[in-house]
Structure 1
Amino acid sequence: MAVSRTRVEPSVHQLRLLLVLAEELHYGRAAARLFITQPALSRQIRALEERLGVVLVERTSRKVELTPSGAALLPRVRAVVEAVDGLQEAADAHGRSVSGRLVVGTFEAMGGLPLVQAILRDLQYRHPTLTVEVRGVDFVTQTSALYDESVDAVICILPLPAGIQAQPLGQEPQVICVPSSDPLAARESVRMADLAGRELIGLTEEVAQVWRDAWLTRHPDGPDVRYTIHQACDLETVLSAVALGQGLALAPAGCRQFFPRPGIRYVTVTDADPCVIGVAWLARRRDNPAVAALRDVARSVAAAR
């Protein structure tokens, strides 16, 4: 059958019909899937062939099949439909895009974690008109900055005190940071019982008690954790004290990558509960559009990993 060429471009609707027909290779089944009649489907396919100037489908009394031209063009048809769908999804996303400014606090070097980087990148992609500012926070300011609203949300190690809501994103094993000269430094791993009687670097009383408790107020074998007289409020202070042989420190395993130091070694603690990484916000600001956008993006990124 000769098909005359026309200047009219095919519609995306016609391309979608062809894709379904190519899957079913049966006009009746394809029409049923598309909720149209068989004659209507036949007319649209013929119109598509007219517009493209090529026969796409061969129909006999026994079967329906794509012509060589139809089979060759099918990947391009699918690509066009997928591109249009992607365009619509992007347009919808931009239509829902949140504008304004969002200040995100990241605990110590946690902003360098692949998970956190993926969240921030995806947030900017989905909400291009939202200005995102990242600020470092320490043991104290991870909570105080939320309370005084100098940050809108923090990505940190949970838990946090009352009045702050959080969404867990993932876990990290715990390690013990020891001086290189310490006998434990020669070991590949230790158990919590191996730390009995050892002192941990003390933290300032400004650190939330619930956060202190998360770093174990008691060892599994019973004795209370003993703290040095230090009043550390950040990880740099803690690691400096460890390097000087003034005590030990529990830390997330990511410190191996982000805080390598001469004079200290990170040893895996096999029976310590993992650190829980999460995004947190003030309960009263839960419905803030920018905070909600961060929360939604963080949830989807974490679920995909």
Structure 2
Amino acid sequence: MDQSSDPSIHQVRLFLVLAEELHFGRAARRVYISQPAFSRQIRRLEEHLGLALVERSTRRVELTAAGRDLLPAMRALTEAADALRCSVAEEVRTVAGRLVLGSYITALPVVTELVALLQRRHPRLEVDVREVDFVAQTSALLDGSADAVLCYAPVPAGIQTLRLASEPQVACLPEGHPLADRASVSLAELAGTPVVGLAPTVHREWRDFWAADPRPDGTSVSYSTHTATTFESSVSAVSRGHGMRFVSAACRELFPRPGIRYVDVSDAPPCAAVLAWTTARRDTPVVVALRRAAADIAAALRGVPDPRWWHTGFAAGT
């Protein structure tokens, strides 16, 4: 049997129920699925194995010799799967200690949701949420002062990420800017507006991405003399008319500010909100627990028609 066609544990469990009931209708009712769906799963199991397991007639159902011979192995398989599930559940319950999670805004609803989910799953795990700026969102990972960070991509080499959600970029402009009242602008139209400068200690790839530098048409990007390291300081410079910033579309709802306007950018690439950690800490129990919880939140966000990673109108389970 080719490993690519291995039967599922679910199919094996259904066959064991059929072996006890010897009746498709009763077996289907017992597992709360329709009889046609039950029959299809048994057929697929037989196809995966390349063996007939059941003799069917209008009057009765009997196991074939192969079906009877395989019963002990199938029971052992489901027992092993149950034991594995119990072991994983026990390991999850025993995660304890302290997790340091960085975020550029600690009050984001996604941070609250993630911490709450972790604490429901791991009552003995202490979660310390710390605010990090544009520099510390990577330096805190590399120097070990944070176990993981919620931030926007890109990240330096040596840091791994889990994408939580994607969203558009928008231009943050002074309210008196000639383009501030437009519904949408292009990168070419913004070429003459300087970008508020970030500190040289901010990761270069991240600085370039959030300045759209270089522009698609090769136009050079000019910068103000600022060396901002935080969202607030860079937006404050924008409000004083010193330049512009590219920011995530979430900022419209999260950070309304006097003196600025958020304008759609028609040809800017989307940005990604991520959970980031270093390769060295990837398999520590606290980071494994965090990654699992974040993956569940990311999966829940994929079910939202217009996913925005700061929303909490979804259920990530327990």
- Normalised TM-score (structure 1): 0.68
Alignment of 1:188-227 (within 5 A): 188-215=183-210, 216-227=212-223
Q: CA deviation at 1:160?
A: 0.9
- 1:300 corresponds, among 282, 296, 299, to 296
Say whether 1:99 aligns with 2:99: no
Asked if 1:274 is matched to 2:263, the reply is: no
1:184 to 2:179 alignment: yes
**Aligned mates of 1:204, 1:158 — CA distance in 2:** 17
> 140, 155, 159: which is aligned to 1:160?
155
The corresponding residue for 1:169 is: 164
Contact 1:94 1:126 survives alignment (8 Å): no
2: CA distance between counterparts of 1:167 and 1:134? Answer: 18
Secondary structure of the residue that 1:226 maps to in structure 2? coil
Deviation (angstroms), 1:125: 1.5
- In 2, Cα distance between the equivalents of 1:212 and 1:159? 9
Distance in 1, Cα, partners of 2:187 & 2:139: 31
SS of 2:252's equivalent? helix
SS of residue in 1 equivalent to 2:264: strand
Distance in structure 1 (CA, Å) of the matches to 2:291 and 2:169: 25
What percentage of aligned pairs have identical amino acids? 47
Q: Deviations over 1:239-288 (max 9, x none)?
A: 11101101011111111122211111111112111111111111111111
**Match of residue 55 from structure 2:** none
Q: 2:23 aligns with which of 20, 24, 29?
A: 29
Which amino acid counterpart does residue 98 of structure 2 have in structure 1?
R
- The amino acid that maps onto 1:229 is T
CA spacing shift, 1:90–1:181, aligned 2, 3 Å: farther
Does the CA contact (< 8 Å) of 1:101 and 1:132 recur in 2? Answer: yes
Identify the residue that residue 8 of structure 2 maps to in structure 1.
none
Which amino acid in structure 2 is aligned with residue 103 of structure 1? V
Unaligned 5+ segments in structure 1 are 1-19, 35-88
CA shift, 1:292, in A, is 1.0
Distance in structure 2 (CA, Å) of the matches to 1:121 and 1:141: 24
Counterpart selection for 2:146 from 139, 147, 151 = 151
Which digits, 9 at most, give the CA deviation of each residue in 1:12-66, with x for residues without a partner?
xxxxxxxx9xxx9xx64169849xxxxxxxxxxxxxxxxxxxxxxxxxxxxxxxx
Aligned length: 228
**Counterparts of 2:92 and 2:109 in 1: how far apart (Å)?**
28
User: What stretches of structure 2 of length at least 5 have no aligned partner?
Assistant: 1-13, 29-84, 302-318
Aligned to 2:237: 241
CA change 1:107–1:90 in 2 (3 A) is farther
Q: Are residues 91 and 125 of structure 1, via their aligned partners in 2, closer, same or farther at CA, if it must alter by over 3 Å?
A: farther
Q: Distance in 1 between matches of 2:127 and 2:24?
A: 47
User: Hey, what does 2:285 align to over in structure 1?
Assistant: 289
| 2:108 counterpart residue number | 112
1:95 to 1:144, Cα distance in 2 relative to 1, 3 A? closer
Q: What is the alpha-carbon distance in structure 1 between the residues aligned to residue 86 and residue 260 of structure 2?
A: 48
Structure with the greater alpha carbon radius of gyration: 1
Q: Give the deviation of 1:185 after TM superposition.
A: 1.2
- Say if 1:243 and 1:90 are closer, same or farther in 2 by CA, change over 3 A: farther
- Partner deviation per Cα, 1:101-150 (whole Å, 9 max, x = no partner): 101001236x5144x44332222211121111111111101011112211
Q: Which moved more, 1:199-208 or 1:264-273?
A: 264-273
* In structure 2, distance between residues paired with 1:243 and 1:107: 20
C-alpha distance in 2 between matches for 1:207 and 1:92: 39
Which one of 258, 261, 272 corresponds to residue 262 of structure 1? Answer: 258
Q: Report whether the alignment pairs 1:136 with 2:124.
A: no
